[in-house]
Structure 1
Amino acid sequence: MIVSLGLARRRVVVVGGGGVGTRRSRALVAEGADVLVVAPFASADIAAMASRGELEWRQRAVSRADIEGAWLVVAATDNPTANASITLWCEEQRTWCVNAADAEGTPARVAAQSTHGDVAIGVVSLGAADPRRAVRIRDALGRVIDEGDIDVRHVRAREGRVMLVGSGPGAEDLVTVRGMRALAEADVVVADRLGATMLLDRLSHDVEIIDVGKSPDHHPVPQHEINDLLVDRAKKGLTVVRLKGGDPFVFGRGGEEVHACVSAGVSVEVIPGITSAIAVPGLAGIPVTQRGVAATVVITSGHLGPDEATRAALAEGATVVALMAVGTMGDFMAAALDAGADPRTPVAIIECGSTPRERVTRATISDASLIADETGVKPPAVIVIGGVALDGLLASKVAATPRP
């Protein structure tokens, strides 16, 4: 029978300070157990954990008194006779014992375990111990869960909650592992137009999908109604994923949604995403900072045009990354020139970054608006202004030069 033991604040004794004892001690500390290590000598890791007060280390040979009151004992010495004696002591006082050197000689075994959100999986061998095989199976099962290929929605009634998930810049394989796990738990997904929307195709047919996507000239669901949707579904005991493009807190109004949930007494979690402001230029070969070129990057929203911080950054030669700025590109270029920026400063316009439709348009401050019009640049696009946007910068590491 496989049983999960809650060891938080419970006394666990690890006898032995070598490799096995160190691994077990580290895992038990992470579980919140009250760990006692008994060993004449121990690894640097155990010594460091003891110095930080994360566990207690008794630097001597083990005695029967050390295991009194323990919930679990791990016999991990390099002496089979000592391990057998510890196992016998535990058997006599009915304490669970794991003999790391002889799994078949004790009634308890440590499973190869991994945690995936609020689900833990464990694999043990029946009969002769085979830890490497168990780890291989555990990892394979874990990958299936992390990739969202198993429906892990809750069946029993429970308190509803909201998870704000950043889906990244657009490519479905750029969402985080935790984001995929959240989608696999979702009863409801409230989705934007941008981001990795193809992930929705992987959901079970009975997951409610609510499209609240906005485009520059079309806002079908006002923000306050989105907030109300999240709260309403969570109040019904459902797990709600708010799937957002990029990162929820980078021009995603995620802060407003968190505030609405907190105000309504709804549990809310933020799962960060890869922001398009950094990732899209990076995928196009543009580092937003580069030694000798730019040590500062300013990320700004294009909706209201350039603010004073953006103008100052343009004047100082910092990298400026403008999101949602296709419609105000002319204002940004004019502001850069008014601030004294070199008209030859490179500009890169990256449309539909990270997707098969990605297109990169190169220009300078002086002609970016004209070239964008001529080439039909359309949102969504990320605009990068600064020396880092020079074509071929990664290969040559040269400073900005005039556009041919």
Structure 2
Amino acid sequence: MTHGPFDGRRRFVGPDRRFELVDLVDSGGFGHVWLARDCVLAREVALKFLALDRLVGLRPDPGRLEEVRERFARESLMAAKVDSPYVAKIHDCYMSRTDPFLVMEYVDGRPLSAYVRPKPLPLARTCRWSGQMAEGLAAAHDKGILHRDIKPRNVLIREVDSAVRIVDFGLSRFIDASETRGAAGTPLYMSPERSRGEAGDERSDLYSLGCVMYEMVTGWPPFGDDRADPVALARAHELQSPTPPQVQVPGVPAALDELIMALLAKAPRQRPDNARMVVRAIAEVERPLEAAEANPRAGPAHVLPSPSDGSSADSGFADRLSAAELNVRRLSGQHGPSHALVVAARMELAGLTGRSGDPRGAAELYDRLGRDCRDWYGPGHPRTLDAFTEMARWVSGRGEGSG
């Protein structure tokens, strides 16, 4: 009897039992992702198994089954050509008769969906991750490859350096060709043309990127939430204009607001022409944040300077925010969340968030820390009072570097 890789009995898969299954890390509508060990190269990899029965049925026609397997291999080969530090690499593809799977770079981190909702992200973090996503899309589009399902769940954030890895390139194209129910994708982030069942082009990916950026900036997607009716979402994407992020969240830079709204234009021709234009636009939004870091007494600036040379740049604040956040997680793991060192690290992170030009984010972090300290130490403890005092300073505009 042949056992599948998910029944707890068979722990090795692939030719000559090359891959040892270690842990099931994700399960979606079209398959499962396992952390595995490559016994030949002695490294961790991710194995993405395709659930054939969900695509072709439990008793498929043999010819249809072979067609689906061949298409999966072909799309995987195309996706493997994408070369970008912001796209998870595909190492290999194995076309087992019952359990075809991809061998991918294992990304030790969490999906972007774990960072968004209902709180907006700090502006520097939003710009950094958005720029990296745009660069990853640009590298794929240069090869003629579309993603077709950009969403927070398909964007992983590495633990070690807080950098983006986009996953599942090519899978939606394969599903498109295999499904009879219409275009694959996620209604919350799907472009109007994709919602109508059209193939779309690279500007369809940019629309989805705009939806993700909107969620990063405001805390919610442009239309509805996960409970919304897919048909209603499709109509909203086709017919409704989202509320501009600046209206939802005061303090969003005008240039970032304009970029997101341009990405969310209903007609593809009204969106940026390509992902590299988006990379350059995000770099321009980052420049005032960098200027604020160089001259903190000047406070946050939202006026764009002259155009850049087109190169992308990671904001220094974004790097420092990532390092500060990693330090909070490291200390929490070592000492527990209520330890004084963790509280001090969270105070530092909140202050840095404010100095990056995001007083709203600083106030929210101080407020959250104050509530935690109140639960741990009591309402009159100095740490509780310090956190709430700093929150009030940033709310009133009296935070460090705010004026």
The bucket for the TM-score relative to the shorter chain is under 0.3
Given the two structures, how large is their TM-score scaled by the length of structure 1? 0.23
Q: Which has the larger radius of gyration?
A: 1
Structure holding more strand per residue: 1
Given the two structures, how large is their TM-score scaled by the length of structure 2? 0.23
Structure holding more helix per residue: 2
